[in-house]
Structure 1
Amino acid sequence: MHKSDLPMLLTQTIEVVIRAGQLLIAEWARVNGPRGKGDKAIVDIEIERVLRQQLLGLFSCDFWGEETGHSLTGHSWCWVVDPNDGTSDFLKGLKGSAISVGLLHKQIPVLGVVYAPVTVEGSPDCIAWSEGLPDLLRNGQPVARKLTGLALSSSSYVMVSAAAIIKPEINRELCTPSSFVAMPSIAYRLAKVAAGDGVCGVSLYAVSAHDVVAGHALLRGAGGILLNENGESIYYLTEANMQTVSRRCFGGSEIACRTLVVRDWNRIFTADGSQA
């Protein structure tokens, strides 16, 4: 694989991901609701098996999946897959969980596809990018907006977890002067920020590579960054890094991320640790 081949591989990857999204759409529409409980849905395994076979069919390299395990041989390329980021919210009946497929080259996210088949807006949303493209693609159309230089403002949005809706006052304070948007899936939060819907996406829970690699690629394509809880850039250098890339993450414009990361997010948490 040469980096010049990435735009063509991205086109093929988008097709694979959108086909797999039909499984999520069908699961959402089940009469008795999606199968599973807690943070485990049966459809997640079904989707990842399809993705693993088809992505490795497109390009055979290392593979890191949330549900089907990983194969890390030291190959310079690695697919990183979350078949349904936001499973627990999906099982609660919340729209906005997303299939997340990223590709690392020498530990750098060089391709990403985040696809939310069932959204609050009512239309599926596919956000994608690879090195070699000047702009992100959103549902096949280029998105020219870049994150560079954007700061928090009264007209911008910070994407936070769906749980934020139960603690609106403190989330409003922590995101000021921006407004907050509560939604599932850190992958989709980062993707929406990269595509121009916000200035920063936040997770206050530990994240693994499968949660953020695709979104990280999209942020790179939009001129954004992804920071951990210490304000350091997130890397994927070792298996341990892949398993837990950060305890918290902030992805978006550099100015917004560096402003938010130093705020006291611990204030959100009560004894029940109810916000992610």
Structure 2
Amino acid sequence: MNDFWNTILDFAETTTIRVGKQLMQDFGQVQASQKADGSLVTKSDKWADQEIRDAIVSTFSGYGILSEESDQTYPDKEWCWVIDPLDGTTNFTRGIPIWSISLGLLYRGTPIFGYVYAPPLNQAFHGFWAGSSGLTTPTGAFLNNRPIHTSSDAPSKNHFFNLCSRSTGIIQPGFPCKLRMLGVASYNFLTVATGAVLGGIEATPKVWDIAGAWVIVQAAGGTWVSLNSEPFPLSPGIDYSDRSFPTMVVSNSDLVTVFTPFLESVKF
């Protein structure tokens, strides 16, 4: 890796570790309030958001920032960080140890680097995905700096598929896998990247929920299926606060036709 990509990776690692240490002190100890869209927010979300934004401004002059808790309109910048300072706030407030800090670095509106850190699990995921950007990037997806890859297994009742609370319509006779619900969009998809799960669905993820995982899943060999509109590239001047991007992720393209028929009962 050249110095630029080393700087990106080092920044993501050191920033999320530092922020994660404080969030672990608050974990299960803070009260949440409800935002206009019905989701929850805590003082910890807001603190983490400010810390990460300040770190970006001091390290990457001229880069844009899109964040769940503050700047929700995509800026007219070639490079932009998209951040979810605390993905899984409900789990966080209830003391359930599945939540994460998610960062995605976008070039001309499309993610090319993703970093997701889950402090309670001591798991740090990252990946690079050049796609059609024309950039020369490192390759691969990693968990705690060890390479990861999606599973090549065929579905069975001994394999898992993740869903969210708004996608329970897939629970039908004949579904080929056991079902799990984790409550965190990024982690839902990252378990596919590690090979632990064959697929997952999120009915209403926002761009900050998926910007980091989008890179890591594809770098790990997974297939990303947009069930409505494509999330990327993002467009300057657009407010993404009320835009959701229903998504299914599967471990390989052969599984798309296996799981798609069960989506007909899910409303997006």
Contact 2:172 2:262 in 1 (8 A): no
Deviation at 1:185, TM superposition (A): 0.8
With normalisation by structure 1, the TM-score equals 0.79
Contact 1:40 1:87 in 2 (8 A): yes
Q: Give the match for residue 113 of structure 2.
A: 111
* Structure 2 runs not aligned, ≥5 long: 35-39, 130-136
Deviations 1:215-271 (A, max 9, x none): 1011121122322224x644233254844554521123333345334424646x8xx
Query: Which stretch shows the higher mean deviation, 184-193 or 243-252?
Result: 243-252
Contact 2:66 2:75 in 1 (8 A): no
Contact 2:66 2:82 in 1 (8 A): yes
Q: Give the match for residue 219 of structure 1.
A: 217
Looking at structure 2, the residues matched to 234 and 255 of structure 1 have their Cα atoms a distance apart, in angstroms, of 22
Change (3 A) 1:5 1:141: same
Whichever residue aligns with residue 6 of structure 1, its letter is W
Q: Give the match for residue 68 of structure 2.
A: 66
Change (3 A) 1:217 1:242: farther
Deviation at 1:103, TM superposition (A): 0.8
Q: Give the match for residue 57 of structure 1.
A: 58
Whichever residue aligns with residue 19 of structure 1, its letter is R
Whichever residue aligns with residue 85 of structure 1, its letter is D
Looking at structure 2, the residues matched to 115 and 190 of structure 1 have their Cα atoms a distance apart, in angstroms, of 13
Whichever residue aligns with residue 254 of structure 2, its letter is I
Q: Give the match for residue 138 of structure 2.
A: 133
Whichever residue aligns with residue 18 of structure 2, its letter is R
Contact 2:68 2:241 in 1 (8 A): no
Contact 1:37 1:88 in 2 (8 A): no
Looking at structure 2, the residues matched to 55 and 244 of structure 1 have their Cα atoms a distance apart, in angstroms, of 24
With normalisation by structure 2, the TM-score equals 0.81
* Structure 1 runs not aligned, ≥5 long: 270-275
1:36 partnered with 2:32: yes
Change (3 A) 1:68 1:154: same
Q: Percent identity, aligned pairs only? A: 20
Whichever residue aligns with residue 102 of structure 1, its letter is G
Contact 1:236 1:242 in 2 (8 A): no
The aligned length equals: 253
Contact 1:79 1:103 in 2 (8 A): yes
| Root mean square deviation of aligned Cα | 3.0
Q: Give the match for residue 76 of structure 1.
A: 78
Looking at structure 2, the residues matched to 128 and 13 of structure 1 have their Cα atoms a distance apart, in angstroms, of 9
Contact 2:192 2:199 in 1 (8 A): yes
SS in 1 for 2:221: coil
Q: Give the match for residue 255 of structure 2.
A: 256
1:97 partnered with 2:108: no
Of residues 151, 155, 176, the one that matches 1:152 is 155
Q: Give the match for residue 236 of structure 1.
A: 233
Q: Give the match for residue 9 of structure 1.
A: 8
Deviation at 1:173, TM superposition (A): 3.3
Change (3 A) 1:156 1:12: same
Change (3 A) 1:227 1:161: same
